Amino acid sequence: MMKTKRLFAISLLFFLIIAGCSSKKTNTDVGRNDTQKVKIEDTHSDDGRTVVGISMPDMLLERWNRDGLFLKEQFEKNDCEVILRYANNLIDTQVNDLRDMINSGADLLVITAVDGAALSDILDEAAEANIKIIAYDRLLMDTEAVDYYVSFDNYQVGVLQANYVIDALALDSAEKTFNIEFVSGDPVDNNARFFYGGAMDTLKPYIDSGTLNVMSNQTGFYETSTAQWSTDLAQQRLQIILNSYYPSGTILDAVLCANDSTALGAARALEADYSEKNPVVLTGQDGDIANIYNIFDGVQSMTVFKAMDNESVVTADLGLAILSGSKPDADLIDTSNWDFSCDYNTTDYDNGVRVVSSYLLQPITITLDNIEEELFDTGYYSRNSAGLIYAVK
Ligand code: BGC
């Protein structure tokens, strides 16, 4: 075992010297399509295979199913073997999934953590085995063992939701006070803090000036949070708020929900326990099919869409660049060929141990006004002959 490790360390050193001598950027040879395949150096196992382990948090949320399939497709296009696992929102299952991937000779792990801070030990094991690690969408916390982070500008997601509320209620010219409630995300998901931060920073001046009022007085991140982004928990919490603070005649103007699964819960709570007739502004994020229906039905006002297919393209390009021997902690990919924007960020994503180099894509606001153009004309969704919406991509 020791011998193999030493042999491995020596070959790694040799490889690093060679890689260091070769060109710094690999972006010209990183695949954009089937015809431009990368010759990947197999930096981990010496069996000639390039194995990519993709560990997704759960299958219940529509988006992770799609992310998993997009990622798989991107890596397979480039001759990688893919192990794709879903952890059922359980930390232990995710640790076991990752251990299986390590044992199966993974060269690269792409991980969306159930709990960002709960994987340190298994990530250390992976790093010791020289496996490269990309945190996908959610940052891996409290660990050195993460090479890069690929996500959307998570703070901007919250800003878009808040700006929607400001415009929808015309807060800048408001002559009365509007009531709003907040439904934040899962506190063990680092993204939830960014969504909350973006929304709260944007709305705080209106709360401070009294244009916005929070009847429940619940404005902090933890008190508004929703464990596991659960629809049921979001529904229960809002029902309690409605029953306690919104007696008949008290108007609720907006519910700022961090994402679509919580927005579904909020919509159900409003249907069950809110008897006033005004339309309540309701935000979301992801563009899940159930929420697209709710937008068409006027039940949800907007969603923030994050093009997961693009997120997977960035991740695959980056993963292939790392596996080709490019040095970590540098801007490895050429984003100029894409028709979407993606920024390299080396300042904003501190995981508690270090700032992780990140690639961030841009989210967009979807409302009734642009839903056809952005989600249907672009081919994300279509309708069957019975008019039912289905995901194409
Ligand atoms: C993602 C969101 C998603 C949420 C719940 C977050 O980390 O960024 O898109 O709605 O998790 O799964």
pLDDT in tens, 256-295: 999 999 999 999 999 999 999 999 999 999 999 999 999 9
**E strand map for 154-236:** 178-183, 212-213
Read off the amino acid at residue 143: T
Give the pLDDT confidence of 66-104 residue by residue, as tens digits. Answer: 999 999 999 999 999 999 999 999 999 999 999 999 999
Q: Are residues 135 and 218 in the same domain?
A: no
Whether 67 and 130 map to the same domain: the answer is yes
Decide: residue 1, CB within 10 A, 0-12 exposed, 13-18 middle, 19+ buried: exposed
- For the chain, percent of residues with pLDDT exceeding 70: 88
CATH of the domain at 263: 3.40.50.2300
Residues 178 and 99 placed together within one structural domain of the fold: no
Q: Report the nearest-CA residue for atom 5 of ligand 1.
A: 229
Helix/strand/coil for 185: coil
* 130 within domain boundaries: yes
In DSSP terms, 111 is beta-bridged to: 55, 135
Calculate the alpha carbon distances from 265 to 53, 79, 113, 325 in Å. 33, 41, 23, 46
Same-domain check for residues 117 and 91: yes
- Tell me if 254 CB under 6 Å of ligand 1: no
Residue 100 structural domain? 24-152+307-361
d(CA 133, CA 323): 11
Q: What is the DSSP letter of 138?
A: S
Task: Tell whether 194 and 161 lie within a shared domain.
Answer: yes
Q: What is the pLDDT of residue 242?
A: 98
Alpha-carbon distances of 163 from 94, 154, 167, 191, 203, rounded to whole Å: 36, 15, 6, 19, 8
190 and 200 co-located in one domain: yes
Residue 129, pLDDT > 70, answer yes
Instruction: Render pLDDT for 156-181 as a digit per residue (tens, 0 to 9).
Output: 999 999 999 999 999 999 999 999 99
Cα–Cα dist 358/342, whole Å = 10
Question: Is pTM beyond 0.85 here?
Answer: yes
pLDDT digits (tens, 9 = 90+) for 312-361: 999 999 999 999 887 777 888 888 878 899 999 999 999 999 999 999 99
Q: 242 vs 6, which has greater pLDDT?
A: 242
145 and 210 share a domain?
A: no
Q: And the tokens for 46? A: 């010496």
* 122 CA → ligand 1 middle, Å: 23
Summarised one tens digit per residue, pLDDT across range 217-250 is: 999 999 999 999 999 999 999 999 999 999 999 9
Pocket test for ligand 1, best of 63, 66, 139, 160 (most atoms within 8 A of CB): 63
pLDDT of residue 43: 52
Question: Ligand 1 centre from 228 Cα, in Å?
Answer: 10
Residues 166 and 258 in one domain: yes
What is the position in ligand 1's atom list of the atom closest to the CA of 61?
A: 12
In a domain, 263, yes or no: yes
**Residue with CA closest to ligand 1 atom 9:** 286
Question: What's the pLDDT score for residue 25?
Answer: 29
The pLDDT-based confidence of 40 (bands split at 50, 70, 90) is: low
165 and 263 inside one domain: yes
Average pLDDT taken over every residue of the chain? 89
- pLDDT at residue 333, as a whole number: 86
Which candidate, 196, 176, 172, places its Cα nearest to that of 185? 196
CB 237 within 8 A of CB 266: no
Backbone dihedral region of 352: left (phi > 0), alpha (psi from -120 to 50 degrees) or beta? left
Q: 115: Cβ below 6 Å to ligand 1?
A: no
Q: How far apart are the first and last CA of the chain?
A: 45
Write the residue with the smallest CA distance to atom 10 of ligand 1: 259
From the CB of 138, is ligand 1 less than 6 Å away? yes
Tell me: do 244 and 270 sit in the same domain: yes
Query: Do 144 and 37 fall within a single domain?
Result: yes
Token pair 């299952």 is found at 93
Q: How many domains does the chain have?
A: 2
| DSSP state string for 115-130 | STTS-HHHHHHHHHTT
- Find out whether the beta carbon of 259 lies less than 6 Å from any atom of ligand 1: yes
Same domain membership, residue 279 and residue 326: no
Is the CB–ligand 1 distance for residue 191 below 6 Å? yes
